Amino acid sequence: MPLSPKVPTPTLERLATYYTILSDLKSRQADTISSADIEERTGINAAQFRKDLSYFGEFGRPGVGYAIDELHARIGRILKLEKTQPVILVGAGNLGSALVGYPALRADNFRIVAAFDNNYNKIGKQLWDLTIRDITRLVEDNATLGARLAIIAVPVGAAQDVAERLVEAGIKNILNFAPVVLRLPRDVIVRNVDFVQELAVLSFHLPDPTTNP
């Protein structure tokens, strides 16, 4: 593994947010942006923005701000978004279908190149423009596909097995939608998206039902 700077995960999450904003501005032909504009658009304060960038060298010019094209390209390189990244999807259910059809993924250079499932009623059928593949062929198929990112969108009970197959297929960077904690070798990076967890955090912040609203 190459040495990469030790960058906090929240910084990476914010970089992705800046990238989204910059993509939008770029499409509207804007030239420069200040850290105050970034704060205005994202709610992330200007000092934090400058600190996030500081992990990666010098950016922008005092009094001038940041050239949008350049900043967009540099963050794109940092996050490895300049070239299309092939992504494997496992789980051709409702969520998997929504992900394959999700327009923003393609816009940002992630392309789901193959969808796998273990259900013989689904294997061979179409999921948008993909033919659903047999999960038992994952290792073999990825030797050709060469994906290094994968999305798990299977029920809880199947997620651990799927994750192990992905690792076996050489995929160590996994986005997991199953609400379960995967147990994998230490060098595998998993990001969990748990809808229930998100709602639970919001629910905590609801006013107490015993008080008048």
Among 99, 138, 159, 167, binds its own copies (CB under 8 A): 99
DSSP classification of residue 41:
H
Q: Dihedral of the CA atoms 110, 50, 5, 167 (nearest 10)?
A: -30
In order of 87, 108, 165, the CA distances from 183 in angstroms are 21, 29, 13
Question: Does residue 189 belong to the site contacting its own copies (CB under 8 A)?
Answer: yes
Cβ 123 vs Cβ 131: under 8 Å: no
Q: Give the tokens for residue 133.
A: 């593949």
Residue 66 vs 110, nearer CB to its own copies: 110
Q: Give the tokens for residue 46.
A: 């200007």
Cα 165 to Cα 203: distance, rounded to the nearest angstrom: 35
Residue 101 vs 124, nearer CB to its own copies: 101
Question: Does residue 132 belong to the site contacting its own copies (CB under 8 A)?
Answer: no
Residue 23 vs 118, nearer CB to its own copies: 23
List of residues contacting its own copies (CB under 8 A)? 1-2, 4, 7, 9, 12-13, 15-17, 19-21, 41-43, 78-81, 83, 85, 87, 93-95, 97-99, 101-105, 107-108, 110, 148-149, 151, 155-156, 170, 173-175, 179-181, 189, 191, 193-209, 211, 213
